[in-house]
């Protein structure tokens, strides 16, 4: 089981795709929308999936359609709020670019 103090770092390409829809670029067995794939790479999917794998979340089912990495945290009937990012009012390297304030759709 993942502990609240566990941290995963996934190293990969650090960019968001530009064109919606933001499906994964490759087929993942656990992805519920069979056949829906992006025409261009979507590193966001690989990063989130890789971080959950590194944390050992539902490790016994990884790579199978039954993989449910949040199943040990979220139970049927739970109410969940997803906070996709932590933001600041500036970007470290792009000056006054407001991209740091906007949650990307992917």
**If you average pLDDT over residues 73-84, what whole number do you get?**
86
Q: If 0-12 CB within 10 Å is exposed, 13-18 middle and 19+ buried, where does residue 99 land?
A: exposed
The whole model's pTM is what? Answer: 0.73
Residue 96 confidence class, pLDDT cut points 50, 70, 90: low
Which of the two residues, 6 and 103, has the higher pLDDT score? 6
- Taking residues 35-45, what's their average pLDDT? 87
pLDDT at res. 1: 64
Going from the C-alpha of 33 to that of each of 18, 24, 30, 38, 64, the distances in angstroms are: 20, 10, 9, 12, 14
Average pLDDT across the chain, whole number:
83
């Amino acid at each position: 089981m993942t502990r609240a103090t566990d941290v995963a770092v996934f190293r990969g390409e650090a960019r968001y795709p530009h064109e919606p829809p933001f499906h994964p670029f490759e087929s993942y067995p656990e992805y519920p929308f069979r056949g829906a794939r992006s025409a261009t790479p979507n590193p966001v999917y690989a990063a989130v999936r890789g971080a959950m794998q590194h944390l050992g979340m539902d490790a016994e089912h990884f790579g199978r359609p039954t993989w449910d990495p949040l199943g040990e945290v979220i139970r049927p009937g739970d109410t969940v709020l997803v906070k996709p990012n932590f933001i600041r009012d500036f970007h470290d390297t792009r000056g006054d670019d407001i991209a740091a304030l906007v949650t990307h759709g992917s």
